Structure 1
Amino acid sequence: MTGERRWTFLTNHGHVLLAVAGAPDLRVAEIAAQVGISPRAALAILRDLEDDGYVLRTRVGRRTHYAVQPHRPFRHPATETHEVDELLAIFGRPPPG
């Protein structure tokens, strides 16, 4: 498989969202390792998701807790009639709330 192009159906943003939905108390480094990206990239993605209302970040003591916000539409015009809850359901993660 060396030298072959690899691609996935989900972006890193989608993978980070799924990681957060599955374990809201993961550290950024743990999310990065699960997704296969750097901690800096994971943090940037988490900021994107928070800025656009897909994830809510709260501090719990010295830890950060991330919560996926329910009923947010997909951003692409071709899929904007669907909500991220549907993606979570496909991968066996119940929508929050």
Structure 2
Amino acid sequence: MSPREWTFLSNHGHVLVALARDPQARMRDVADRVGITERAVQQIVHDLVEQGYLLKEKVGRRNRYEVADGAHFRHALEAGVTLEEFLGLVLEPRGRNVGRTAR
């Protein structure tokens, strides 16, 4: 793998950041932003909701997602870091409170 082919975040991390930026984004739009298939995004969103990192709310015909700010990273090396702290590093100041909750 060449140095330009990898990133520090997994696809799960990229999907989380995309939905924190745009909580009402369509799966197709998230897939385009992340660079993966729509089906992969659907599976990742399912994982994140199932594990309590994202909350999903049906609004009309669309879904709206909220990041559970108080949730911690899963790996022992980062277990002390909350999603709120992480997103505070990667989101623009204007988007920091959009689509997030203090759970």
Q: Give the alignment's TM-score, normalised by structure 1.
A: 0.91
Q: Which residue of 2 aligns with 1:84?
A: 83
CA distance in 2, matches of 1:44, 1:19: 15
Deviations, residues 44-66 of structure 1 (Å, cap 9, x unaligned): 00000000000011110101111
Q: Which residue of 1 aligns with 2:66?
A: 67
The aligned amino acid for 2:13 is: G
SS at match of 1:66: strand
CA distance in 1, matches of 2:31, 2:25: 10
Runs of 5+ in structure 1 lacking a partner? Answer: none
User: What does 1:32-71 align with in structure 2 at a 5 Å threshold?
Assistant: 32-71=31-70
> 2:67 aligned with 1:94, yes or no?
no
Number of matched residues? 95
**Cα displacement (A) at 1:69:** 1.0
SS at match of 2:52: coil
Runs of 5+ in structure 2 lacking a partner? Answer: none
Computed over aligned residues only, the root mean square deviation of the Cα atoms, in angstroms, reads 1.5
Q: Give the alignment's TM-score, normalised by structure 2.
A: 0.86
CA distance in 1, matches of 2:6, 2:40: 17
Highest relative contact order (Cα 8 Å, sep 6+), 1 or 2?
2
Give the percent of matched residue pairs that are identical in Structure 1 and Structure 2.
Answer: 39
